Structure 1
Amino acid sequence: MTTTPETTAPHADDLPDLTGLIKAYDVRGVVPDQFSPDVARAIGAAFAEVVVLADGADAVVHPDTGRPFVVIGRDMRPSGPELGAAFAEGVTGRGVDVELIGLCSTDGLYHASGALGVPGAMFTASHNPARYNGIKMCRSGARPVGQDTGLSAVRDLSSQYLATGVPVLAEGRGEVTEREMLGEYADFLRGLVDLSGIRPLKVVVDAGNGMAGLTAPAVLGTAGGLPALPLDVVPLYFELDGTFPNHEANPLEPKNLVDLQAAVVEHGADIGLAFDGDADRCFVIDERGAPVSPSAITALVGLREVAREVAAGRRPTVIHNLITSRIVPELLTAAGARTVRTRVGHSYIKSEMAEQDAVFGGEHSAHYYFRDFFFADTGMLAAMHVLAALGNARSADGGPVTLSRLAESYEPYAASGEINSRVVDVPAARARVVEAYVTQQGAGPVVVDELDGLTVSHWDDQPRWWFNLRPSNTEPLLRLNVEAADDDVMTKVRDDVLALVRADSAADGS
């Protein structure tokens, strides 16, 4: 087959720089300045070449056409339809079919990729503000496409296509069709966690005008035609609106949890659930309106999955990233699991999940990964596990247990949360910390590792503490996480490290 460029090559000075758009884990940038339909078209063609056609394992053919095909989904951002259509043009121009599954959560796209056995692309900028959009890509079976697993090659080829014109086959172009997958997604999740026998729970769900406004009624309610569950769901901001009129769909920011916290208390709810824009992350609020740490959720859900595996006579493996609480490996190891510590970032955890055949994985950013969900992350499945644990928990006298009490044993330590510092000279700031804590050992003998940034640990001696200092991939930022056995020690270590990081610079915390 012959190919012709679809567009005239632009002048070199007009070419967009894709290094700031195509990052370590995904594509994400401002529309249209960084991310335009022309760029999406070039990325689509490169995705077809690098992910679909270059890897025979990913070239699953469509039963009707005999051509390889991919699935494409999108969130509720206004720019999604145009960018998705341009991406699909790039894909079909390389002789690959496209099935559009329309509005969905990112884990809904992963389900489609896993269930159909084909690569996928999800148009979303997750929790970013409305002016952003992006793409999360995966290989067949929801396997990750990250910097080391194809994304850098997609970036390089996309840049080439933007310079020379996006190639299109003269004959044998792919076709675009539509497919509804929401019902299958909801049914699949219902089959993994049985909520039918739990005690009745009142649940406030804050969708943040994101995709949980579509998926929560389908999975937790009866919108998808499934049987009713003993859940009284109080909806908060379920209207799909990519301009985020109520608050940004970023539950990592405490200000975006305020409405949910108030609603939980106002309605006398048992639990609150907050999802980010593409609904692949879930944050949990207890009955008092207090956030439950994602590390605590990692331990709670991990113990459920470990117990199931141990009961079946298997020794399970659980993955956790290096900024999760130390309670996670402590509890899971005691329960019979093997724990594996990994770098921060979903592509790293997904790869490790598959390589280790891990039953579960958790990140302190509230991404939760399941072997039963194609080793991919899903906020909804994590939420269902928490609902099952809460709905089945009983006190010594047989009465119901509140979420705050249930979570107590999973949050014994004091944590700082992630603190970002913008610094003038990142290496110099890091060097000051190394000099004080590692070279001089001013706080006592420590264990040091550099799996991801700098981790300094005094956990095997008193007082118990550790911290991790990681640079941003794209900005002059250092990210600090501190944990200690009590608040006083955590505060001291946090403040001492921040003083070193921010010394002699125009630093400001964010």
Structure 2
Amino acid sequence: AVPTPALYFAAHYLKCGTGVAVTGSHNPPEWNGLKMMVAGVTLSGADIQRVRERVEREEWTIAEEPGLIDECDVIPAYVEKAVAGVRGGVRHRIVVDAGNGIAGPTAMKMMERLPVDAVPLYCDVDGTFPNHHPDPSKPKNLEALIERVMSEGAAYGIAFDGDGDRIGVVTDTGAVIYPDRLLMLYAQDILRTHRGAQIVYDVKCSRRLVDWVREHGGIPVISATGHSLVKAKLRLTNAPLAGEMSGHVFFNDERWLGFDDGLYAAVRLIEILARTDDPSKVLMDLPSAVNTPELQIPMKEGEHHAFIKRFCEEAEFPDAEAVIRVDGLRVEWKDGFALARASNTTPVVVLRFEGDTPEALARVRTVFEAEMRRVEPNLAEPR
């Protein structure tokens, strides 16, 4: 078993372009499935459904020659490629929390090659996840990391999700640096050498990221949420960087290969923060707004898509500055935004709210949720 990014790397490294990972990432066991890469393209949406339909119809194409099975450990090459070009700097003490997911052993191999003293936390693999769920997008799953960072006197902490393609970060005082703010740091670094480049972000990201990218000479490009959809937008724009609010980060410059990789995102973060004596100050100085974490409204399978379709058609926001239907409904006001979209992986409606002030956040959320309940009066409370 290897982290999902190692599979993507293997498809490039072994020059086959195709691979399949059995994974549910951070999802509960009953939601495990397949991530498929065919001829260098990660399948999503309708493409995955076409594969399912062919399997159900038993439409097989029989190869003229039998296939071969060749076992190959790509982890050494993956680690070597990831750490290549990272120069030394200030050697900080950090904590690495893999949440007992598959990323732990590979992450620690990388840490041994980087300018950090890394303290492992739950880096042994245990698919029952006995300590906490390996989903760094949920603040409660970062509590153990925060506690360990503070007890160790570490400069910052890094968390990975279950299959290693997403990253989470906390400061020395326990502040959570959400991935859209982290993307600002990466964008600033990338745009130093890629002036005028496009930077791709998903619909859940902060409006502050858009302004930040423009201020640093880049062009922000919005994308639907979903690692395969963001990756498709990355190919279309040839952007050197993309990221999602969930923690997927894609480096597509001369050093990396354009797939989402939490482990490699950690390498680039360590490289950037090794240039300063105070990493947490650098992180906390990134622009922020008042926002909610990702909220969810559970529904029955299929109902979440039906609700979002109806909401996009019927909702009215006459005082909004912009209404964006790239993925669900994102409504922007001069001092905040609200988003509702259907999850690609579980039957839930995903919500996010942001305001320039607590008062703006409260108003945005109240207006948006009231319109949701006008469209569907029996809507459950988000959690």
Match of 2:80 in 1: 187
2 CA distance for matches of 1:287 and 1:267? Answer: 10
2 CA distance for matches of 1:123 and 1:286? Answer: 33
CA contact (8 A) 2:104 2:122 kept: yes
Query: How far did 1:419 drift?
Result: 1.6
2 CA distance for matches of 1:136 and 1:362? Answer: 18
Q: Mapping of 1:35-434 within 5 angstroms? A: 103-118=1-16, 119-141=18-40, 143-148=41-46, 150-161=47-58, 172-192=65-85, 194=86, 196-221=87-112, 228-310=113-195, 315-372=196-253, 373-393=256-276, 400-403=277-280, 405-422=281-298
State yes or no: 1:447 paired with 2:322: yes
2 CA distance for matches of 1:262 and 1:358? Answer: 37
Match of 1:81 in 2: none
1:471 maps to which of 332, 335, 342: 342
CA contact (8 A) 2:337 2:353 kept: yes
1:254 to 1:474, Cα distance in 2 relative to 1, 3 A? closer
2 CA distance for matches of 1:484 and 1:436? Answer: 20
Amino acid at match of 2:54: L
Larger radius of gyration: 1
1 CA distance for matches of 2:65 and 2:310? Answer: 57
Match of 2:331 in 1: 456
Match of 2:361 in 1: 490
2 CA distance for matches of 1:123 and 1:410? Answer: 36
Amino acid at match of 2:205: T
2 CA distance for matches of 1:475 and 1:296? Answer: 25
TM-score of the superposed pair, with normalisation by structure 2: 0.90
Ranges in structure 1 where 5+ consecutive residues have no aligned partner: 1-102, 222-227, 394-399
1:472 to 1:402, Cα distance in 2 relative to 1, 3 A? closer
Amino acid at match of 1:107: P
CA contact (8 A) 2:115 2:274 kept: no
1 CA distance for matches of 2:167 and 2:347? Answer: 28
Match of 1:509 in 2: 382
TM-score of the superposed pair, with normalisation by structure 1: 0.69
Amino acid at match of 1:273: I
Query: How far did 1:309 drift?
Result: 1.9
Query: How far did 1:185 drift?
Result: 0.2
2 CA distance for matches of 1:215 and 1:500? Answer: 46
> Which 10-residue stretch deviates more, 119-128 or 243-252?
243-252
1 CA distance for matches of 2:264 and 2:124? Answer: 22
SS of aligned partner of 2:93: strand
Amino acid at match of 2:103: A
1 CA distance for matches of 2:347 and 2:267? Answer: 38
1:246 to 1:189, Cα distance in 2 relative to 1, 3 A? same
Query: How far did 1:473 drift?
Result: 5.0
SS of aligned partner of 1:508: coil
1:199 to 1:449, Cα distance in 2 relative to 1, 3 A? same
Query: How far did 1:280 drift?
Result: 0.7
Query: How far did 1:423 drift?
Result: 6.2
State the Cα deviation string for residues 75-109 of structure 1 (Å, max 9, x = none). Answer: xxxxxxxxxxxxxxxxxxxxxxxxxxxx2111111
SS of aligned partner of 2:352: strand
Query: How far did 1:506 drift?
Result: 5.3
Query: How far did 1:346 drift?
Result: 1.1
CA contact (8 A) 1:423 1:505 kept: no
Ranges in structure 2 where 5+ consecutive residues have no aligned partner: none
2 CA distance for matches of 1:423 and 1:211? Answer: 29
Amino acid at match of 2:275: N
> Which 10-residue stretch deviates more, 238-247 or 129-138?
129-138
SS of aligned partner of 2:188: helix
Query: How far did 1:208 drift?
Result: 0.8
1:110 to 1:445, Cα distance in 2 relative to 1, 3 A? closer
Match of 2:352 in 1: 481
SS of aligned partner of 2:32: strand
> Which 10-residue stretch deviates more, 412-421 or 341-350?
412-421
1:429 to 1:108, Cα distance in 2 relative to 1, 3 A? closer
2 CA distance for matches of 1:316 and 1:499? Answer: 39
CA contact (8 A) 2:135 2:162 kept: yes
2 CA distance for matches of 1:457 and 1:133? Answer: 35
State the Cα deviation string for residues 242-261 of structure 1 (Å, max 9, x = none). Answer: 11121221122222111111
1:167 to 1:331, Cα distance in 2 relative to 1, 3 A? closer
